[in-house]
Amino acid sequence: MSPTDALADELRRQFGLTTVTLRAELSQDELFDEAIANDRGFVTPDGPGDEQKAFATALGVDGPLVYYTDPTCTGRPTKDTFAVARDSVKDEVWWKPDFQQFDPEAFDALLPRVIQHLNDKRATLYTTDVFCGWDTEFAEPYRFVGEFATHAYFCNIMFPKGVREPGDVDRLNDGWTLINVPSFHCDPERDGTLSNRAVIVDIEKRVALVLGRADYCGVNKKTMFTIMNFVLPSKGQLSMHCSANVGADGDSAILFGLSGTGKTTLSADPDRELIGDDEHVWTDRGIANFENGCYAKLIDLDKEAEPVIAAAMSMKGTLIENVPRLDGKDLGDTDPQEFDLTDDSITENTRFAYPLDCNPNVADGAAGPHPETIVLLTADAFGVLPPLSILTEDDVMYHFVTGFTSKLAGTEVGVTEPEATFSPCFGAPFMSHKPSVYARLLAQKMTDHKTRCVLLNTGWSGGPHGVGSRMSIKHTRALLDAALAGDLDDVETEIHPIFNLPMPRSCPGVPSEVLNPRNTWDDPEAYDAAAIRLRDMFRANYQAKNYAELGINDVM
């Protein structure tokens, strides 16, 4: 039996797919051509539903594929994301507005309806078998099955193949399958969804559905990340939304942080090898990337500051998503370097997917040893947190589940002054267990491996956003380098009187007066008032999330 026939037999037995045409394990070049020829759907808000969605640039197949999502889905459809609330998982899942319960009976009726839809239309389905994870023991087999060649092409960029030998993989019984069907438009009354689209994970049955107008490429990545965030902690392994790198002496580091805090930029260090920039697991053997690629934001990209991403935009096997075409110029005549990366007319969330090996300084096997340092990144636009704090175990758990950063005035309609943002574990939408599960695992692994932890503030100094200035990148790098080198392990500290955070009194390459943020304000009393306001926001968040009941000590 040929590999395609074996796949067809598995999909027939597993789901009842009988009359579809499978385009299995195509090369990236083949998927590139198929995407341009066949991927059709909504591209413009008032346009038809059969517009071309994928295009070549002037570089043809030797350059990036350019793809445009449904204009109603230029990011993850969080309000339409669910997990099936079966008894086996119902009490373990962290239910929230962006990961809601889906009725098991409704799903058990919906899945066959989707399969019948594909059989009735004799759909052509693109499939690829990859893994989520580089760690051979904990990598999960992931099978993508979908109507768009672009999505299979994306999965081949983002996920590794060949992590385990074919004979060691039982995808039918142990693997996860994501079925992506843009042509199936949900009926809320019939299907139990909230709109005409849905992303639904059935953890017990090891299947996920992506239905309707939800064709943003990132859905195919983050859905699997959400699954890993349930599976791995259940095995005692810590899944993490973080970047990671390793130094010449084998000293690994993990950097947690929300968007805008410097997670990707600070992990891209010419003196350290990159393990990955987004999703990792800390197992009994060390750190391993989940992915084989990066999915970077392109909006306002500074090509001089981000030369790896800039160069990769002209490389073969990459994918540019939702960057507008130039006025009066066909995409086929456009060099990728000509794109206006400041253009947010489609979305602020323009994206670029590229393989890890586009980066010339990647750790072998996208893995590293147990970390010596953990960095919790925040960008405090209130201008009151210390540039660096050395955390105790209780501090780590508190600030990890808090996941604080801040929105800037002017970044969203109605935001006129900095606003606090709290995202537990620095990635709440993707965390499928309750935050305390990850916090306890983190604390245990830090104890087992004697890992240090610092809170690094890349935000404002001398006043809030609009008054003060952004932390000097030179000082931030010096603080990070000192923490990674262990130069702050025995340094003299002082306790911040409002935030109760230990601050170093000295650091190589950083003026001592900068290390206490109160010293950088012209009006110390105004600083105290602003610091108390932010502290009270931390306290209110702690109480609202009932962290005391979850065993997280109140350190503030």
The residues annotated with a catalytic role in the active site are 76, 222, 241, 259, 263-264, 278, 351
What is the torsion angle, in degrees rounded to the nearest 10, for the CA atoms of residue 505, residue 511, residue 517 and residue 519?
Answer: 100
Task: Compute φ and ψ for 120, nearest 5 degrees.
Answer: -65, -40
Question: Residue 93 and residue 88: Cα distance in Å, rounded?
Answer: 10
- Annotate 202-217 with b (16+ C-beta within 10 A) or e (fewer): bbebbbbbbbbbbbbb
CA angle 219, 134, 129 (to 5 degrees): 55
- C-beta separation of 127 from 145 below 8 A: yes
Q: Which amino acid is at 78?
A: T
Residues near 396 by beta carbon (within 8 Å), at least 6 away in sequence: 374, 376, 442, 443, 446, 453
Of 486, 445, 141, 157, whose CA–CA distance to 295 is shortest? 157
- CB of 44 closer than 8 Å to CB of 70: no
3-state secondary structure of 453: strand
CA distance readout (Å), 153 to 13, 66, 156, 415:
26, 12, 5, 38
